[in-house]
């Protein structure tokens, strides 16, 4: 049955990693519904299967890492503040926040309200004074990295933090969405690598099977999700994802209480 759980959680990761809805938050809630124990292995599982989603980005955008050297530099600049924040708070996040359903629920709700209010403000900002959008600058990249650092809190959403941060700085939707995809590669690779080093790769054969199952499921589903999301942002705002987060919290509370 553990293999089935790993497959389901891999699907959840693949769908939610690049949408502004928090993959970590969804994994924690899904594990709660499935009755998966909050052990150190399953916490590591949540982090490690992100490698599947990373591979999907490398398949779809790998050529850009080779050709666009300036873009790589900006991604690394954006990664630095996230890495610093992550290293400082890693023990607290892993031991306390990562297993807290309450933290996830609060973050999902506040993040949903935040997205809705941001889109309301953003629409009026554009109507009042059209933005001069351009390619991402070095300063914008650094600030986007700071915004991403907030997503160490489960339920906030790395994607939401970077996309909203980029839009607020004047970057257009498609550009910041793709930049968020690319920034995920060093961010998630570092998070997974740090966790694996901390655990010393100390997994049983069965646990490696679960990791591989989640990895493959996350990879396949992420490929589909990323392609759909890039088409979606061409003609839609992110308000729907804000409402989804609020409704999800309401349904969760109704189910639990």
Domain positions in the chain:
2-252
Express each pLDDT in 112-125 by its tens digit. Answer: 999 999 999 998 87
Q: Is the four-CA dihedral 45, 50, 53, 54 of positive or negative sign?
A: negative
Mean pLDDT across the chain: 88
Express each pLDDT in 204-256 by its tens digit. Answer: 888 899 999 999 999 999 999 999 999 999 889 999 999 999 999 999 999 88
Alpha helices, DSSP H only, in the chain?
Answer: 2-16, 23-34, 40-48, 50-67, 69-95, 101-128, 138-149, 158-168, 173-199, 205-232, 239-256
Indicate the pTM of the whole model.
0.88
Contact 29, 104 (CB under 8 A): yes
Instruction: Give the separation between CA 112 and CA 238, rounded to whole angstroms.
Output: 10
Secondary structure (DSSP) of 172-197: -HHHHHHHHHHHHHHHHHHHHHHHHH
Q: Highest mean pLDDT range out of 58-67, 68-77, 192-201, 230-239?
A: 230-239
């Amino acid at each position: 049955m553990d293999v089935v759980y790993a497959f389901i959680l891999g699907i959840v990761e693949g769908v939610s990693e690049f949408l502004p809805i928090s993959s970590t938050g969804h994994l924690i809630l899904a594990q709660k519904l499935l009755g998966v124990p909050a052990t150190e292995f399953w916490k590591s599982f949540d982090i490690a299967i992100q490698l599947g989603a990373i591979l999907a980005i490398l398949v779809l955008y790998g050529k850009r890492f080779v050709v666009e050297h300036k873009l790589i530099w900006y991604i690394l600049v954006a990664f630095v503040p996230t890495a610093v924040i992550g290293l400082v708070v890693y023990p607290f996040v892993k031991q306390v926040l990562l297993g807290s359903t309450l933290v996830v629920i609060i973050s999902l709700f506040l993040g949903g309200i935040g997205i809705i209010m941001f889109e309301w403000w953003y629409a009026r900002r554009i109507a009042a004074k059209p933005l001069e959008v351009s390619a991402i600058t070095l300063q914008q990249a650094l600030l986007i990295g700071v915004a991403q650092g907030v997503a160490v809190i489960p339920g906030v959403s790395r994607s939401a933090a970077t996309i909203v941060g980029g839009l607020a700085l004047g970057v257009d939707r498609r550009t910041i969405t793709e930049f968020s995809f690319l920034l995920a590669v060093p961010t998630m690779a570092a998070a997974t690598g740090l966790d694996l080093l901390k655990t010393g790769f100390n997994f049983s054969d069965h646990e490696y099977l679960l990791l591989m199952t989640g990895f493959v499921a996350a990879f396949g589903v992420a490929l589909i999700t990323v392609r759909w999301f890039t088409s979606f942002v061409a003609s839609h705002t992110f308000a729907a994802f804000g409402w989804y987060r609020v409704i999800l919290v309401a349904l969760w509370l109704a189910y639990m209480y």
